[in-house]
Amino acid sequence: MLDQYRRIKAKHRDEILFFRLGDFYEMFNEDAQEASAILDLTLTKRQGLPMCGIPYHAAKAYIARLLKAGKKVAICEQKALSNNKRGLMDREVVEVITPGTALEDDYLEQGTNNYLADICIIDQRLCIAYLDVSTGEFRAFSLVFNREIVAETIRAELYRLAPREIIVQQSILDQPKLLQVIRECDSIIEAQPDWVYDISHSLDILKKKFGIVSLKGFGFEDNAPEIAAAGNLLEYVQEMIHKNCPHIRALLPYEEKEFVLLDEATKRNLELVKNLSDSSKRDTVIEVIDKTKTAGGARLLRQWLFQPLRIREKIEERLEAISFLYHNQILLRDIRKLLYGILDIERLISRLAVDKAHARDLRAIHDSINIGINLFALIASAQAPLEITSRMSKEQLEACKHVIDIIEKTILDDPSILLTEGNLIRNGYDKELDDLRNLHKNTQKVLEDYLKDEKKQTGIQNLRIRYNRIIGYYIEVTKGNLANVPSHFIRRQSLVGAERYTTDRLAELESKINGAQERIVEIEKNIFIEIRDSLKQFIPALLECASEISRIDCLASLAQTATEQGYTRPQIEEDEDIEIINGRHPVVEICLPYGDFVPNSITLSRNSHWFILITGPNMAGKSTVLRQTALIVLLAHIGSFVPAESAKIGLVDKIYCRVGAQDNLARGESTFLVEMHETAFILNTATEKSLVIMDEVGRGTGTLDGVSIAWAVSEYLINRIRCRTLFATHYHELTTMTMPGMRNMRMVAIEQDGNISFPKRLEDGASSGSYGIHVANLAGLPKEVIIRASEVESHFNYMEQALKEEKAEETALPSYELFSTEDIVIETLKNIDPNNITPIKALQILSNLIERLKQ
């Protein structure tokens, strides 16, 4: 047996092998040591061999824990007795379960896609394919390979997809920077040699899978580089699952140009699905807007949030549907009530496709599809807009109704989960099954009816049928009636006062009675498998029904959010103006007591000002205004109502939000380096149609460097890119910039009697100070520290004023005299190259510095 184990394990070195032994899955050697640590199992030894085991009926819970720990599990089952080895069962691996190929609900997070991704670089194109085996969604795309931004591009896509498992071309992993980006995703990484990424081979795999002669019908040229990633990904899945996966119906393109680009930093800083404090869903945008009732709807809404639309017509279609539901509250209530009863149809169908669906899964499909059809009828009767009505064809609807009919006629309302327990099929579907059930249920009555027949034929009225474990069922005849025993009675046993007989008919009944339950289970299992297989032909229609339900659920969710939170319909325009009147932050406002949130208005106009410089103290609300502006624009682009009194939104192609940089020890990057990377990505990729939100650029370095960088970045955004920008800063020197397209605004701070308050209101003009010491006082710093800080501030203010009174060199850039003397001395010395300065020049510089210090 151990030799057999070693042969099988040799083919599955990367997986923990669950080796079936009777009613247990056993693990040996390294697998046992690793699994026992993760699963808290007792590790034992047999002949010096480490081993541990789990009951087969409890395997799912243990597998789920291993998958969560990032492990792969190979399931090795017993098949039959080996022909060449007495008593040894044949065994084979029937499935490999990985985090990216899991199908069971026990292994999956509800409402979230479970993506498996494949990344390669082919013909100077970055190619990405991704597949959710649990729903059948399969997409691929490629981007021009740009060495300067490829790391950020991969990071953004991995953040969008959050794959549980990533297959990566080896040459990509050989590049330290890209390897680091991929490792950040915290997924299983499966390296593949470069030679497997062959377009021709992958094309053959895809054509064979979908039964087509070309991928052009799916939107791909047959030499498209992303085909290499898609084919390799599909081949990997089929090898793991050991199935053809008929629920994966097509390879679809991901058209990046149809969506607003959100880089990883923007998704993170806007806290779309994870907050910045503990990476949970708490206090995020998705928590606010996700009122979905179905798992499929929750997954789709998350996709909408990560993929805002760029095409005005599509945005308006969603807005029209949401507006209709918003103004028809009774219909909205009824829709949501129906949606509540729908289970995860996509994942149920995926299990059906790979022969993992049990009888209750089929009943769940029956019930959910039935509700879906009623939902479509309800909406159709309300004469709703096209976007919210079902787009299913008549043939697809009929196919779904046929599935409902098949399941209703065959599967019990509350069937067993296990095929080995019976209790699956309705009475009246199969005559043999009905007869066996009748026999099993009415054993005593069947025997009594037979006994009556024998009494009538023999004339012996005191015949009795009895049973014992040795001879089974028998007819007992007393000594006085032996003369009347017919010839078809067969003697089994002689007693002092009686004889025991059997008959061919009694033996037949006994055989049926004893084997009835086993036969019932066998027949029900065969019928169920036949029914399950017959339903696979309807998978495309069922998936289309599931897709429609999810879309309606998303629209209803956004309408419900608009109703509860008082959102309004935005006006979507082709121009580049943004006008938000009394906008609110969707998350912050619900975290505050009702009415406490202070709304603010923002206008960005191509004709007057497309760059707003916002100044003001900490705690005044700058970051909230920045984020809420980006979120209102983003929500408008997914077709949602927005938290504002009114909003006119000019279409954008990209949204960048660089707010609150943090150091990244995992990447080996300081706060300032992270900030500069994010800033560089914006300046290198933004266009005049983009929306840029930037906060405190340059704060991670010295004052002089920081002001200089912030100034130069501002000029570049205003004059070179000319994109719509909100730029918050503490560097008040920037407010002196006078360039066309720029507008100064400030967060209001009210100082009275030595106290300061922040009404969170935005107004025109530049802030007069940062009020940092006041904020420090509010934070509770010791009085001694506050008093000393005020003294130091006064000293620096005096020095600065004294320096300003000197005659400065004329320059278009801010002069060094805006800074303290110490800063000037330090910066001057830092910029001296000792190897390229004459002694006389050095003495002149030293003399000037001494004079400044004396002053």
pLDDT, tens only, 732-786: 889 888 888 999 999 888 877 767 778 889 999 988 776 777 777 877 888 888 7
| 463 lies in some domain | no
> What's the pLDDT tens digit per position in 394-423?
999 999 999 999 999 999 999 999 888 889
Q: Please tell me whether residues 24 and 54 are part of one structural domain.
A: yes
Which of 374, 387, 390 shows the shortest CA–CA distance to 338? 374
Q: Please tell me whether residues 276 and 346 are part of one structural domain.
A: yes
Chain mean position to CA 757: 42
* pLDDT at residue 472 tops 70: yes
Q: Rounded CA gap, 309 and 259, in Å?
A: 5
Catalogue the long-range contacts made by 676-682 (C-beta closer than 8 Å, 24 or more residues apart).
Answer: 677/152, 678/265, 679/713, 681/149, 681/152, 681/263, 681/265, 681/656, 682/656, 682/658
119, 150 in Cβ contact below 8 A? no
The better pLDDT of the pair 229, 804 is held by 229
| pLDDT level of residue 811 (50, 70, 90 thresholds) | very low
Q: Please tell me whether residues 243 and 129 are part of one structural domain.
A: yes
Q: Please tell me whether residues 826 and 724 are part of one structural domain.
A: no
Which of 183, 12, 190 shows the shortest CA–CA distance to 99? 190
Backbone φ, ψ for residue 480 (5° rounding): -70, -15
Strands 490-494 and 498-502: antiparallel
786, 775 in Cβ contact below 8 A? no
| The last residue of a domain, from among 40, 74, 97 | 97
Place of tokens 């939000």: 657
What kind and span of H or E run contains 301? helix 295-306
653, 637 in Cβ contact below 8 A? no
Residue 233, helix vs strand vs coil:
helix
Q: Among the listed ranges 67-76, 590-599, 735-744, 814-823, which one has the minimum average pLDDT value?
A: 814-823
> What's the pLDDT tens digit per position in 54-86?
999 899 999 999 999 999 999 999 986 655 555
684, 712 in Cβ contact below 8 A? no
12: its two tokens = 């599955």
| 473 lies in some domain | no
Q: Please tell me whether residues 338 and 212 are part of one structural domain.
A: no
Q: Rounded CA gap, 288 and 570, in Å?
A: 18
Q: Please tell me whether residues 729 and 630 are part of one structural domain.
A: yes
* pLDDT at residue 518 tops 60: yes
Q: Please tell me whether residues 582 and 558 are part of one structural domain.
A: no
Residue 574, number of CB atoms within 10 A of its CB: 7
| 496 lies in some domain | no
| 435 lies in some domain | no
What kind and span of H or E run contains 20? strand 16-21
CATH number for the domain that contains residue 602: 3.40.50.300
Catalogue the long-range contacts made by 454-462 (C-beta closer than 8 Å, 24 or more residues apart).
Answer: 454/503, 457/486, 458/484, 458/485, 458/486, 459/484, 460/484, 460/485
| The last residue of a domain, from among 191, 221, 254 | 254
Percent of the chain with pLDDT over 70: 92
Residue 501, helix vs strand vs coil:
strand
The better pLDDT of the pair 811, 503 is held by 503
CATH number for the domain that contains residue 92: 3.40.1170.10
Q: Rounded CA gap, 101 and 252, in Å?
A: 19
243, 355 in Cβ contact below 8 A? yes
Q: What crossing angle do the helices spanning 431-441 and 443-458 adopt, rounded to 10°?
A: 80
pLDDT value of residue 514:
82
Which of 563, 604, 560, 596 shows the shortest CA–CA distance to 580? 604
pLDDT value of residue 852:
67
Greatest Cα pair distance in the chain: 147
CATH number for the domain that contains residue 288: 1.10.1420.10
One-letter amino acid of 800: E
Between the alpha carbon of residue 661 and those of residues 56, 60, 653, 676, 717, the distances in Å are 49, 42, 23, 9, 19
Q: What is the dihedral of CA 545, 546, 551, 555, to 10 degrees?
A: 100
pLDDT value of residue 821:
63
Q: Among the listed ranges 46-55, 685-694, 798-807, which one has the minimum average pLDDT value?
A: 798-807
Which of 113, 156, 380 shows the shortest CA–CA distance to 269? 156
How many domains are there within the chain?
Answer: 5
CATH number for the domain that contains residue 193: 3.30.420.110
Which of 698, 701, 703, 733 shows the shortest CA–CA distance to 713? 698
Instruction: Tell me the residue length of the chain.
Output: 855
Place of tokens 């039959």: 80
716, 684 in Cβ contact below 8 A? no
Percent of the chain with pLDDT over 90: 66
| 189 lies in some domain | yes
What would the mean pLDDT of 519-541 be, rounded to a whole number?
95
Q: Please tell me whether residues 707 and 612 are part of one structural domain.
A: yes
Q: Please tell me whether residues 846 and 806 are part of one structural domain.
A: yes
pLDDT value of residue 120:
96
Q: How many helices (DSSP H) and strands (DSSP E) are in the chain?
A: 28, 29
- Specify burial of residue 163 (Cβ count, 10 A radius: 0-12, 13-18, 19+): buried
Backbone φ, ψ for residue 654 (5° rounding): -150, 150
Range of the domain at 606: 571-778
Q: Please tell me whether residues 602 and 743 are part of one structural domain.
A: yes
| 260 lies in some domain | no
Q: Please tell me whether residues 748 and 673 are part of one structural domain.
A: yes
> What's the pLDDT tens digit per position in 661-677?
554 544 556 778 888 88
Sign of the dihedral defined by the CA atoms of residues 91, 95, 98, 102, in that order:
negative
| 155 lies in some domain | yes
| 732 lies in some domain | yes
Q: Rounded CA gap, 711 and 802, in Å?
A: 24
Residue 139, helix vs strand vs coil:
strand
Residue 427, number of CB atoms within 10 A of its CB: 10
Q: Please tell me whether residues 341 and 371 are part of one structural domain.
A: yes
For the chain, state the CA radius of gyration.
37
Beta partners for 726?
612, 693
* DSSP strands (E only) in 287-334: none
Strands 724-728 and 654-658: unpaired
The conformational region for residue 109 under phi > 0 = left, psi -120 to 50 = alpha, else beta, is: beta
SS3 content of the chain, % helix, strand, coil (to 5): 50, 20, 35
Write the CB contacts of 235 (distance below 8 Å, at least 6 apart in sequence). 202, 205
| The last residue of a domain, from among 71, 97, 123 | 97
473, 509 in Cβ contact below 8 A? yes
